[in-house]
Structure 1
Amino acid sequence: MEIGVDSFAAILPDPVSGNLPSAADRMGDLLREIETADRVGLDVFGIGEHHRAEFLDSAPAIILAAAAARTSRIRLTSAVTVLSAADPVRVFQEFATLDLIARGRAEIVVGRGSFGEAFPLFGLDTRAYDDLFAEKLDLFLKLGEITNVEWEGRFRPALRGEGVYPRPHQARLPLWVGVGGTPESFVRAGTLGLPLMIAIIGGSFERFRPLVDLYRAAGTRAGHDPDTLKVGVHAMGFVGETDEEARNSFFPGWAHLTTKVGRERGWAPPSRAQFDEMAGPDGAFLVGAPSTVAAKMLHASDVLGGVSRITFQMSTASLETTAMQRSIELLGTEAAPIVRSALSGK
C-alpha cells in the first residue's frame, strides 16, 4: 500500500490568535511540508484544486513543480484536477512538464469537482456537469496515447492532428479517477480500466464497499485485468503523539471549514461529538496516534477488498507548520511502517 498526504493549501486562522498567515508564508510552509514527506519516506503528495478564498491551490501543477525541484523520491499528483472545467490539452501539457521536472514522478487524479466555483469562472454550464467530464476525460486519455490527435467533441474546438507537446518523461502519465459517492462514476472508471481514488470524508469505510464492488465488476465485464483495477482512498487524517492530542489538533480547523461550507449548503454546524464519532473505531477519519491510525488504515483496506493507496487530507488542521510537519513525520516514520509490516506478512 502506498501512503501519502493530500493538501488543499488551506489558509486558516491561527487557532490561538485568530490571525490569518500571509498567502506567501502559507505557500512556503506547504513546500516545507512536502519536503518533510519526501524525507520521511512517504510515497505520494497531492495538491487539490479549488477556486475559493480559503484555499491557495487553484494552480496545482505550479505548486507541484516547485515541490518537484525540492524533492527527490516522492510521487507528486493532483488531488483532484477539475478536468470538467479545464482544457485537457493545457492540463496535459502542464503535467507533462511537471513530469519532466520531477523526472518521472508526476501523476494526475481527475474528477468533476465537489465545489462548483470553477464552472462560472471559466464560462461553463453546470447543467453539462457530467457530459463535460466524460468528453474531456476521453480527450485526455487520447492525448496520453498519441502526440498528433484527431478528435472532435461538443465543448472544445476539434483537433486535426496538431502535435501536443511536451511529452512526459514517463511512457504514460499515471491517471486516477477521483470519485465521491455516485455509482455511475465508479462504473465509468471500471469500464475504462482506470485506477480509482475515492474521497471518503465522513461516515464509514464499509458503506463504500458496494460501490467498489460495482467498480471491479464493471472493470471485469470490460475485460480489464483485475490487478490493474487499483483502489485508493483519500480521507481526513492527522497523526499525533496520542489519540487525544491528534483529535484536539485537527478538530478546530476541520470545524471552521465544515461550518463555513455548511452555511453555503444548508448543513447544521458540526459538533465535537460528531467529530469524535468519525475519529472513533467505526468512523472514516484517520485521526489518532500512529498505532490507531495504522489499525484504521488496515481496516479500510480489509473492508474495501484491498486498497493500493491511502492519502491523508491534513490541511484542514489550523496548525503552524512545525506541528503539521511533526504529524507528517509520525505518519512516515511510525504509522506507515506498521502498515507495511502487517501487509508484507500477508
Structure 2
Amino acid sequence: MELGIGMFGDLQVSASGEIQPAQQRLQEIIEEIKLMDEVGLDFYGIGEHHRPDYAVSSPEIILAAAATVTKNIKLSSAVSVLSSSDPVKLYQNFATIDLISNGRAELMAGRGSFIESFPLFGFNLQDYDQLYEEKLDLLLKINKEPKITWKGKFRPELVNQEVLPRPVNNNLKIWVAVGGTPESVERAGRLGLPVMFAIIGGQPIQFKPLFDYYKRVYEAYGHDMNKFEVGVHMHSLFGENSAETSEYYYPLYAAQMNRVGKSRGWPPYQRSQFDMGRGSGGALIIGDSNEAIDKILAMQETFGLTRFSAHMDVGGPSHAAMMKSIEIFGTKIVPAVRKALGVEVV
C-alpha cells in the first residue's frame, strides 16, 4: 500500500476573516512537499479550486515546481476538474511535469465537488455529466495514442492530430476520484481505471458496498487484477499528543466545514461530529501516531487498499503544524504501517 498526502491548498483564515496571502501559502506548500520527499512518502496530490479560501487553481504549476525540489515522491493532482478543462492542454501539462520529474507525474480526474470553475471557464452546469463523460473519453484516447482523430459535442474535433509532448513511458497513470455514486464507480471499473474514494464523513464501513461493486465491475470487464488499484482520501492531522492535537485542530476544521457548508445548506458543524469522526469507526484520522496506525491498517483490511491519502490541510493548519504532521507521518506512522503489512522498511 502506498502512503502519501493530499491537499487542497487551504488558506489560513483568522477569526476576523482575514485570509492568508496566497503567495505565502504557495511557498509553504513547496517546503512541505520537499519534506514529504525527504521522509519517504510515496506520493503527493494537490487539488484545483477557484475560491478565495484556497491557494491553488492550477495543480500542474505547483507540481512542476515541486518536481524541481524532490527526487522520489510521485506528484499528482487531487483532483483536476476535468469537466471544465481542455483534455488536450491538461494532458500536455501533465506530460511536461512527467518529463521534468523523470516519470513521477500522475493525473487524477474528477467532476469537481465545487462548481466555481464552470462559469469561470464558460461551461453550463446542466451539462455536468455529459462534459465529464466526453472529456474523460478524450483524455483516455490521448493517453493511449499520440495521434488521434476524435469528435465530440463540447470542443472542436481533432483530425489525425498529434498531442505532444509524450510522458517518459509514453502514457500517464490516470486515476479517477469518486464520491459515493454507483454510476461513477461503475464507469471506473468498466474502464479499468484506478479509483480514489473520498471518505470525509460518516462511517467508512458504509462505503464497503461501493468498493465491492468496483471490484466486481473491474473483474467483469476482464481487466488485469494484478493492476487493480484502489485508494481512500481521508481528512487527517497528526501530532505528538492526541488531545492537544484535537483541541488545536477542531476550531480550524469546524470553521472550514462551516465556510463550505454555508453555500450548501449544511447545519453548523458540531464538536460531537468531530469527536465521533475521530473515534474508531469514524472518518477522521486526527490524533497521535498510534491512533493513526491502527486506523490506517483497519482501512486497508476493510477495503483492500493499494493507496492511502491523508488529506492534511483542511481549514488551514499553521505551516509549523503541517510540517510536524508530515514528519510524524513519514517517520512514525508510515514505517509502522509498512512493517505491519510485511513491507521491508529501509
Match of 2:146 in 1: 147
Contact (CA 8 Å) 1:252, 1:318: kept in 2 or not? Answer: no
**Aligned-pair RMSD on alpha carbons?**
1.5
- The answer to whether 1:320 aligns with 2:323 is no
Match of 1:337 in 2: 335
Give the Cα–Cα distance (whole angstroms) in 2 for the partners of residues 103 and 249 of structure 1: 39
Within the candidate set 292, 305, 308, 2:306 is matched to: 308
| Secondary structure at 1:168 match in 2 | coil
| Secondary structure at 1:344 match in 2 | coil
Distance change >3 Å, CA 23–CA 228, structure 1 → 2: same
Contact (CA 8 Å) 1:196, 1:229: kept in 2 or not? Answer: no
| Secondary structure at 1:137 match in 2 | helix
User: Unpaired runs of 5+ in structure 1?
Assistant: none
Give the Cα–Cα distance (whole angstroms) in 1 for the partners of residues 332 and 45 of structure 2: 21
Contact (CA 8 Å) 2:111, 2:132: kept in 1 or not? Answer: yes
Contact (CA 8 Å) 1:250, 1:316: kept in 2 or not? Answer: no
- The answer to whether 1:48 aligns with 2:63 is no
Match of 2:79 in 1: 80
Match of 2:2 in 1: 2
Match of 1:277 in 2: 276
Contact (CA 8 Å) 1:77, 1:109: kept in 2 or not? Answer: yes
Shift of 1:317: 4.3
Paired residue type of 1:169: V
Contact (CA 8 Å) 1:250, 1:318: kept in 2 or not? Answer: no
| Secondary structure at 1:311 match in 2 | strand
Shift of 1:226: 2.1
Q: Spell out, residue by residue over 1:76-126, the C-alpha distance to the aligned partner (whole angstroms, 9 max, x if none).
A: 000001101100000000000011111100001101010111111111111
Paired residue type of 1:290: S
Paired residue type of 2:310: F
Give the Cα–Cα distance (whole angstroms) in 1 for the partners of residues 319 and 168 of structure 2: 32
| Secondary structure at 1:177 match in 2 | strand
Contact (CA 8 Å) 1:93, 1:164: kept in 2 or not? Answer: yes
Match of 2:113 in 1: 114
Aligned counterparts, 1:98-113, within 5 A: 98-113=97-112
Q: Spell out, residue by residue over 1:310-338, the C-alpha distance to the aligned partner (whole angstroms, 9 max, x if none).
A: 11111114332122101000001001111
Shift of 1:178: 0.3
Paired residue type of 2:210: L
User: Unpaired runs of 5+ in structure 2?
Assistant: none
Contact (CA 8 Å) 1:14, 1:319: kept in 2 or not? Answer: no
Shift of 1:12: 1.6
Shift of 1:248: 2.1
Shift of 1:254: 1.4
Shift of 1:345: 7.1
Match of 1:208 in 2: 207
Match of 1:11 in 2: 11
Give the Cα–Cα distance (whole angstroms) in 2 for the partners of residues 82 and 318 of structure 1: 22
| Secondary structure at 1:326 match in 2 | helix
Shift of 1:209: 0.7
Match of 1:291 in 2: 290
Paired residue type of 2:3: I
- The answer to whether 1:62 aligns with 2:61 is yes
Paired residue type of 1:202: G
Give the Cα–Cα distance (whole angstroms) in 2 for the partners of residues 297 and 275 of structure 1: 18
Give the Cα–Cα distance (whole angstroms) in 1 for the partners of residues 181 and 293 of structure 2: 28
Range that drifts further, 17-26 or 220-229: 17-26
Shift of 1:246: 2.3
Q: Spell out, residue by residue over 1:272-327, the C-alpha distance to the aligned partner (whole angstroms, 9 max, x if none).
A: 111011011110111111111011011111111x1011111111143321221010
Give the Cα–Cα distance (whole angstroms) in 1 for the partners of residues 251 and 168 of structure 2: 41
Which portions of structure 1, spanning 4 or more consecutive aligned residues, are displaced by more than 4 angstroms? Answer: none
Aligned counterparts, 1:224-235, within 5 A: 224-235=223-234
Give the Cα–Cα distance (whole angstroms) in 2 for the partners of residues 56 and 317 of structure 1: 12
| Secondary structure at 2:170 match in 1 | coil
Give the Cα–Cα distance (whole angstroms) in 1 for the partners of residues 17 and 259 of structure 2: 15
| Secondary structure at 1:13 match in 2 | coil
Give the Cα–Cα distance (whole angstroms) in 2 for the partners of residues 249 and 190 of structure 1: 40
| Secondary structure at 1:184 match in 2 | helix
Give the Cα–Cα distance (whole angstroms) in 2 for the partners of residues 106 and 64 of structure 1: 8
| Secondary structure at 2:263 match in 1 | helix
Give the Cα–Cα distance (whole angstroms) in 2 for the partners of residues 69 and 170 of structure 1: 19
Match of 1:243 in 2: 242
Report the TM-score when normalising by structure 1: 0.96
Aligned residues with identical type, % of pairs: 45
Shift of 1:146: 1.1
Match of 1:91 in 2: 90
Give the Cα–Cα distance (whole angstroms) in 2 for the partners of residues 18 and 117 of structure 1: 21
Give the Cα–Cα distance (whole angstroms) in 1 for the partners of residues 249 and 97 of structure 2: 31
Give the Cα–Cα distance (whole angstroms) in 2 for the partners of residues 244 and 12 of structure 1: 22
